[in-house]
Amino acid sequence: MMGPTIVVPGQPPASSGAEQKKEYGTVSFESEPTGAELLLDNGLIGNTPLSNVKLPSGSHSITITLPGYKPWVRQITILPDCQQNIKAKLEQ
């Protein structure tokens, strides 16, 4: 079962002219308790806490798991040039 969608607030980057760059946002992840595995788009990227993870703009699925706790699952939308902090409180 998917949780609510988290929209990361921000503004599109200023255009520098003819050059088209891939757009990214930055996200920091925390969990309570700490040490939970963080999966991004079904791939393990590390354990919480994770700081300043650079992600391409767009929609991503995140799952935070820790043995003995229910998985914490959300869809997030990353907007370009934006910093977001996500904290998951895991339930037993």
Model's pTM, two decimal places? Answer: 0.73
Mean pLDDT, rounded, of the chain:
84
Which amino acid, one-letter code, is at 22?
K
CA distances from 55 to 18, 50, 82, 91 (A): 23, 13, 10, 27
Q: What CA–CA distance (Å, rounded) separates 42 from 39? A: 5
If pLDDT is split at 50, 70 and 90, which confidence band does 22 have?
A: confident
Residue-wise pLDDT tens digits, 82-92: 999 999 999 99
CB 7 within 8 A of CB 78: no
Question: Which residue in this structure is represented by tokens 């992600």?
Answer: 55
Domains and CATH numbers, the chain: 24-89 (2.60.40.1120)
Query: For residue 15, what pLDDT is reported?
Result: 47
Q: In the predicted model, is pLDDT for residue 40 greater than 90?
A: yes
Within the chain, what is the greatest distance between any pair of CA atoms? 52
Query: For residue 30, what pLDDT is reported?
Result: 97
Residue-wise pLDDT tens digits, 58-83: 999 999 999 999 999 999 999 899 99
In percent, the amount of the chain with pLDDT more than 70 equals 77
